[in-house]
Amino acid sequence: MLGRGDWEAAQSGSELAYCPWEVRNTNSLGVKDVEHENIHSSLSSLIGTTHVQTQHNQLLVYPATEEEISQILRAASAHGYGVVPQGNGSQSQFGKGFIEKKIQLSLKRMTGIVEHSIPDLTAAVLAGTPLQMMQQVLKQSGQWLPIDPMVSAEATIGGIVAANSSGPKRILYGSLRDYVIGMRIVYPDGSVVKSGGKVVKNVAGYDLCKLFIGSRGTLGILTEITFKLRPLPHYQELVLIPLQTLDEAAKLQRIILASEFIPSSLELLTPQFSVELGQRPSYTLLVGCDEGEAACIYHRERLTELAGADFNLKRGEGADQFWQEYRSYFNSSSQDFLLAKVSVLPMQVLPFLQLLRELFDGSSVLMSCSAGLGTGIIRLTIQDGLNQDGVAPKLKIAREWAEKHQGALILEKAPFVIQKQLSIWGSEPSAFPLMKAIKQKIDPDYLLNSGSFIGGL
Amino acid sequence: MEQKHLVRALTQIVGKKSVLHHPDDVLAYECDGYTIQRGTPRAVVFPSCAEEVSKVVKLLFQAKIPFLPRGAGTGLSGGAIPLGGEVIISLVKMNRLLEVDFANMRAVVEPGHINLKLSNTISVQGYYYAPDPSSGSSCTIGGNVAENAGGPHCLKYGVTTNHVLGLELVLPNGEILNVGGSSLDLPGYDLTGILVGSEGTMGIVTKITVRILRKPQGVKTVLALFEDVRDASQVVSDIIAAGIIPAALEMMDQTAIKAVEAGSYSVGYPENTDAVLLIELDGLTAGMEEMAEQILEVCRNHHVSSVKVAKTPEERNRWWANRKTAFGACGCISPDYLVQDGVIPRSTLPQVLERIREISQESGLRIANVFHAGDGNLHPLILFDARIPGQTELAVETGSRVLQVCADVGGSITGEHGIGIEKQQDMYMIFTEQDLQAQQMIRNVFNPEDLCNPGKLFPKPARCVEMKRPVVHS
């Protein structure tokens, strides 16, 4: 039922790089129109005409309840349509598959905090709730969900969980898989499944939540997610140390990771990125501390011993503002923008940066990185000039290196000109057959977001 | 396959010394830490590497003989009990620490490696492995993976699943496979996440990559005694509300205190003590004094009768030994006991304790409460005497009633001990048929013929519990 074409087949018209299915849909108008009318009226009768829209010949539905989602999935299945779930669409460029007949299912109307148990430090949230909105509510009780993903203000919590997004503070707080304690999911057959619960410790049955975190909407539609929360830090500081060489960074990385430091971030910015964020044109090491004022002072003194007193300091809200600017850098709406996420072991991060330097040395494209020295996660961006030959081959070499070192390089945002030369996900892991078997068991007809995950899942 | 053929085939794979099959020899494998039900295994094999596990599993898979993995046998929900003549694949010989990478903070162990041994080995270099179940000195990390084991320090650092990065696994058809890895966020579905806590129903783990942590610079342990358990409950809530996440926050009630005081590691709690809190802070020493003072203040605000900070590591260890041996110590005050494991939202602690007290009165059985109060994980210990006809059944029923209370306040029926065979029917307290089918769908991907630890974890169509020998006899 789904035309899951390959990258090559759909590449005509690079200005439409992010929505190539439109190119195809216009090819055979007659039949498509009738089918479109049928499904449109069927959906309208289910959830009301105002909640079914057509934009650029594309069906968009806005259900308000789990029940409506179930009905939409059943209708889509009956009409031979695929369904692509989205929150606010803020990350929807990511790993887009090619489905000829599809319905975009937005969770925009499923917004709000269902339950926030302040003394229990837990909150159940509807999947369409923007993370920012959620954090604002939690903040009033001195709590937060300790994730700082590189997403825009409208990004929804459901989308963030589906993409398993994280940020620099992961070194201290961990990632979504450490905070999701329960979920409600609409399965492709329309049934509603609950996994986990609302308590912070729970080993009853399989931990299905793990399967859905980072599953890119290919297995089910998340409708409600329950999180374990943390108290907001009373005080935080961010020390920004300019460094001339990667060797200096390597030395500090080893010392900080192997001693008493409790960094809430440990990121190395490349010179290009440092300049963008108002720092000197050198490498910048960011060392955060969320452990309270006395601990922050201690951290600062230790860093002075190790690296001298020539650093910048951001305190409290100043640090928050810095991170906000930092995050916005990854949210370019430019079509000529690439964001790759690389994951390697912490001790491979600096060798990887060295490799990138060699690869891009003398190249005219603007490549910058923020490298998590404790997490091993590197965010690599390239602005402008992605049409030039040579960018994709360079990234391919970088990916091969990462994969050889037990890591991965995935494209989070990339124009089509890159996507046609370089796959989004890279090599399939050895356990791929099991992943495929799970997809086929849960979604045998490939109804959900098909083709957008690794290996065409 | 006939028994003698099976034994011969197994012997060919693992060697004569690594197969037990005589009824006397397999007696010790009739049950694990859950002793109410027992069954005789067809044989017990002790493979020494993944290839041997794979060969054994392939043989059994082809012959359609059920099998189950077993670590140290300390599990408390009966996950390693052979109820259907399974061959037990014991992983105790696969106990090596294969690799420690301090710079990247990773270690690779075989499943039979003892939990505490890992921390002890890497302690000299200043590292440790965070999940610390009370049975840490004997339980295996493979078993911890199967049960997603917790422990007192999981309040701040998370349970096993938060520390496992990758696994090598022998699938129920004998195929060897790797999931996850040592880097984070590898592309694809999080199979490691779904395997941890699957109670040996999806395959046999043969290698585990874990995260190790740097030991904190400072530790402060506070012991607070209360004459009213409700004050202690309130202190738990207030500490968390003050924005402090201690490394551990443990509580014992009066009956539990009687038990630990009768045990081998008495602390000398005064007679009138109704509840004890054991609170531990860790992290940078800078600022820790203030945080400890804040905790002392919270305790004083709630009529604490005595509160002190450990002065020496010995004192701290004594307090912890007292707490960690609480289950066993119940044997000193009762002929038998049944360990329960439920989770509640922390805020419901006072009301749940009250309900447990009522259930205790109604059943006529004493209940000692030992719990990880910080994360709402209760361990009610139901004290009974199996020699009195009907008391074992009454204890089981009473445990189930306690679980129902946990479920009613929005909690869970197990926080770290697992479902095994003990709580199969109780699954309906928190899951619908639909939820359970979704879980079984995944099991069927890994274990389509249900040969690997069959008949566990999921409810059975009809309840049929045969009571055999009672719980821990002391």
A30/B contact by beta carbon, under 8 A: no
Domain spans in chain A, listed from the N-terminal domain onward: 8-106+443-456, 113-231, 237-328, 337-419
Q: What mean pLDDT, rounded, does chain B reach?
A: 94
CA distance B394 to chain A (A): 23
A204/B contact by beta carbon, under 8 A: yes
**A376 contacts on B by Cβ (under 8 Å):** 104, 183-184
Q: Quick check: B438 and A293 CB within 8 A?
A: no
pLDDT value, residue A56: 79
CA distance A277 to A29: 49
Q: Taking 70 as the threshold, does the pLDDT of residue B471 lie above it?
A: no
**B423 contacts on A by Cβ (under 8 Å):** 204
Average pLDDT in the A143-154 region?
94
Q: Quick check: B182 and A200 CB within 8 A?
A: no
CA-nearest residue of chain B to A174?
A: B162
pLDDT value, residue A332: 84
A115/B contact by beta carbon, under 8 A: no
DSSP A10: G
CA distance B123 to B129: 9
Q: Quick check: B438 and A193 CB within 8 A?
A: yes
Count of C-beta atoms within a 10 Å radius of residue B100: 17
Q: Taking 70 as the threshold, does the pLDDT of residue A11 lie above it?
A: no
pLDDT value, residue B202: 98
Residues within 8 A of B (CB atoms), A 330-369 only: 341, 343-347
DSSP A407: -
CB contact at 8 A, A319 and A238:
yes
CA-CA-CA-CA torsion sign (B82, B88, B93, B97): negative
- Tens of pLDDT, residues B350-369: 999 999 999 999 999 999 99
Q: Taking 50 as the threshold, does the pLDDT of residue B464 lie above it?
A: no
CA-nearest residue of chain B to A206?
A: B198
CA distance A205 to chain B (A): 7
Q: Quick check: A292 and B240 CB within 8 A?
A: no
- Tens of pLDDT, residues A276-325: 999 999 999 999 999 999 999 999 999 999 999 999 999 999 999 999 99
pLDDT value, residue A384: 83
* pLDDT tier, A380 (very low <50, low <70, confident <90, very high otherwise): very high
* pLDDT tier, A92 (very low <50, low <70, confident <90, very high otherwise): low
Which among B101, B243, B410 has the least Cβ separation from residue A198? B410
Percent of chain A at pLDDT > 70 equals 91
CA-nearest residue of chain A to B442?
A: A438
Q: Quick check: B416 and A203 CB within 8 A?
A: yes
- Tens of pLDDT, residues B372-418: 999 999 999 999 999 999 999 999 999 999 999 999 999 999 999 99
Q: What mean pLDDT, rounded, does chain A reach?
A: 90
Interface test with B, best of A201, A216, A264, A300 (most B CBs within 10 A): A201
The tokens of A260 are what? Answer: 């008493």
CA-nearest residue of chain A to B444?
A: A441
Q: Which CATH number fits domain B3-90: 2.60.40.10, 3.30.43.10, 3.20.20.70, 3.90.75.20?
A: 3.30.43.10
Q: Which residue has the higher pLDDT, A12 or B358?
A: B358
pLDDT value, residue A90: 62
CATH number for region A8-106+443-456: 3.30.43.10
Which among A118, A407, A441 has the least Cβ separation from residue B183? A407
State the helix-helix crossing angle for B391-408 and B349-363, rounded to 10 degrees.
160
Count of C-beta atoms within a 10 Å radius of residue B109: 27
Average pLDDT in the B86-93 region?
98
Distances (CA, A) of B232 to A25, B306, B374: 66, 12, 11
pLDDT value, residue B460: 86
Contacts of A212 (CB under 8 A, 6+ apart): A161, A162, A183, A185, A195, A219, A220, A222
Q: Taking 80 as the threshold, does the pLDDT of residue A98 lie above it?
A: no
CATH class of the region B216-328 = alpha beta
For chains A and B, what is the number of CB pairs under 8 angstroms? 248
CA distance B63 to B136: 36
pLDDT value, residue A89: 66
Instruction: Note whether A8-106+443-456 and A237-328 share their fold.
Output: no
Residues within 8 A of B (CB atoms), A 290-309 only: 291-295, 297-299
CATH class of the region A337-419 = alpha beta
Q: Taking 80 as the threshold, does the pLDDT of residue A88 lie above it?
A: no
**B159 contacts on A by Cβ (under 8 Å):** 201, 203
Q: Quick check: A438 and B126 CB within 8 A?
A: no
A120/B contact by beta carbon, under 8 A: yes
Q: Quick check: A195 and B438 CB within 8 A?
A: yes
Residue appearing with tokens 């922390």: B346
- Tens of pLDDT, residues B133-178: 999 999 999 999 999 999 999 999 999 999 999 999 999 999 999 9
pLDDT value, residue A99: 57
Q: Taking 50 as the threshold, does the pLDDT of residue A448 lie above it?
A: yes
| DSSP secondary structure string for all residues of A157-193 | HHHHHHHT---TTHHHH--GGGTEEEEEEE-TTS-EE
Q: Quick check: A295 and B126 CB within 8 A?
A: no
Q: Taking 70 as the threshold, does the pLDDT of residue A30 lie above it?
A: no
pLDDT value, residue A36: 86
CB contact at 8 A, A434 and B198:
no
Q: Note the Cα A223 to chain centre separation in Å.
A: 18
* pLDDT tier, A4 (very low <50, low <70, confident <90, very high otherwise): very low
Q: Quick check: A345 and B106 CB within 8 A?
A: yes
Q: Taking 80 as the threshold, does the pLDDT of residue A17 lie above it?
A: no
Average pLDDT in the B453-474 region?
63
Instruction: Find the length of chain A.
Output: 457
**B290 contacts on A by Cβ (under 8 Å):** 292, 294
CATH number for region B97-214: 3.30.465.10
Average pLDDT in the A266-275 region?
96
Residue appearing with tokens 């600062």: A300
- Tens of pLDDT, residues B406-453: 999 999 999 999 999 999 999 999 999 999 999 999 999 999 999 999
CATH class of the region A113-231 = alpha beta
CA-nearest residue of chain B to A301?
A: B286
pLDDT value, residue A175: 98
- Tens of pLDDT, residues A177-202: 999 999 999 999 999 999 999 999 99
Q: Taking 50 as the threshold, does the pLDDT of residue B198 lie above it?
A: yes
Domain spans in chain B, listed from the N-terminal domain onward: 3-90, 97-214, 216-328
Instruction: Note whether B97-214 and B216-328 share their fold.
Output: no
Contacts of B87 (CB under 8 A, 6+ apart): B6, B10, B41, B42, B43, B44, B45, B56, B60, B65, B66, B67, B68
pLDDT value, residue B111: 98
pLDDT value, residue A385: 82
Residue appearing with tokens 């005589």: B22
pLDDT value, residue B335: 95
First to last CA, chain A: 15
**B104 contacts on A by Cβ (under 8 Å):** 345-347, 376
**B427 contacts on A by Cβ (under 8 Å):** 204-205
CB contact at 8 A, A123 and A145:
yes
Which among B284, B416, B457 has the least Cβ separation from residue A205? B457
The CATH number of domain A237-328 is 3.40.50.720: no
